[in-house]
Amino acid sequence: MLQITKELKAAYPGGWIGAILLKNIEVSKTGEKVLKKMTEDFEDRLRYKYKDFSHVELTLLEPIKSYIYYYKRFKKTYHVLLQLESLIFKKKSIPNVIPLVVIMFMAELKNLLLTAGHDIHSIAPPIRVGLSTGKEKYTLLNGTEKELVAGDMMMTDREGIISSIIYGPDDRTQITKFTRDVLYTVYAPPGIEEKLLREHLKDIHCFLQIVVPDVQLEGIEVYPL
């Protein structure tokens, strides 16, 4: 599903890129109710799991530790850690948005792996995973244009950038309420185990299968850097 550039492999040996393609997704009213209950139960379990953790203790957990190391290179903060802390310390909930995005958020918070979702029909293949030079620009989900920082991991198709670690997914290929076939991709910097990445991709499939029993799994791929 993805092509990995030699520049990326040279820059981040020991890292991984994951992808899962799922099709035939039609979330029914029943599925929405199932997801709502599933999300509430998931949040309760997560709060219980981390109830005795401090901020410092969370930063020492893998894969959070490896992401923090990566983000510090760019003077940024790993936003999945911020989302986790918001949920467990401030009692915030996962946003009630498009089901395919909610499921992605759940998997991210369970496994703490950075994930992006795309409507596969908005992508112009091939998808290449490479290293930014700092001159590339793309439009983010919020509609603002960003210039990439040099040395970041990024994904592109024939029409441009579809995501980067530091700034996230683009607006052109984003998941919408009309998305029926979705590609989830995962960036895993060096220090993260392949096993966790594979479990994360399987979790995405399992979560979605609970909500949409007849979802079709088209493929799971994990690429070494």
Quote the mean pLDDT of the chain.
97
Provide the b/e sequence for 31-54 (b: ≥16 CB within 10 Å): beebbeebbeebbeebeeebeebe
pLDDT score recorded for residue 193: 97
- pLDDT score of 22 more than 90: yes
The predicted pLDDT at position 1 comes to: 85
What's the rounded Cα separation, in Å, for the pair 169 and 137? 12
Determine the average pLDDT of the residues in 97-101. Answer: 97
Give the pTM. Answer: 0.96
Domain residue ranges in the chain: 2-224
What pLDDT score was predicted for residue 115? 98
Give the pLDDT of residue 38: 97
Work out the average pLDDT over 109-135: 98
Place of tokens 């991210």: 108
131-187 per-position pLDDT tens digit: 999 999 999 999 999 999 999 999 999 999 999 999 999 999 999 999 999 999 999
CATH classification of 2-224 is 3.50.40.10, yes or no? yes
Residue pair 184/19 in contact by the 8 Å Cβ criterion: yes
pLDDT at residue 100 in the model:
98
Cβ 138 vs Cβ 118: under 8 Å? no
Q: Considering Cα of 13, then 6, then 141, then 222, what sign does the dihedral take?
A: negative
Q: Using an 8 Å Cβ cutoff, are 152 and 166 in contact?
A: yes
Q: For 95-110, give one letter per residue: b (16+ CB within 10 A) or e.
A: eeebbbbbbbbbbbbb
Residue 201 CB burial class (10 angstroms; 0-12, 13-18, ≥19): buried
| pLDDT computed for residue 183 by the predictor | 98
pLDDT in tens, 185-211: 999 999 999 999 999 999 999 999 999
What was the pLDDT predicted at 188? Answer: 98
Backbone angles phi, psi at 187, to 5 degrees: -100, 125
With pLDDT > 70 as the criterion, what percentage of the chain qualifies? 100
Strand order of the β-sheet with 168-169 is 2-4, 127-131, 153-157, 160-164, 168-169
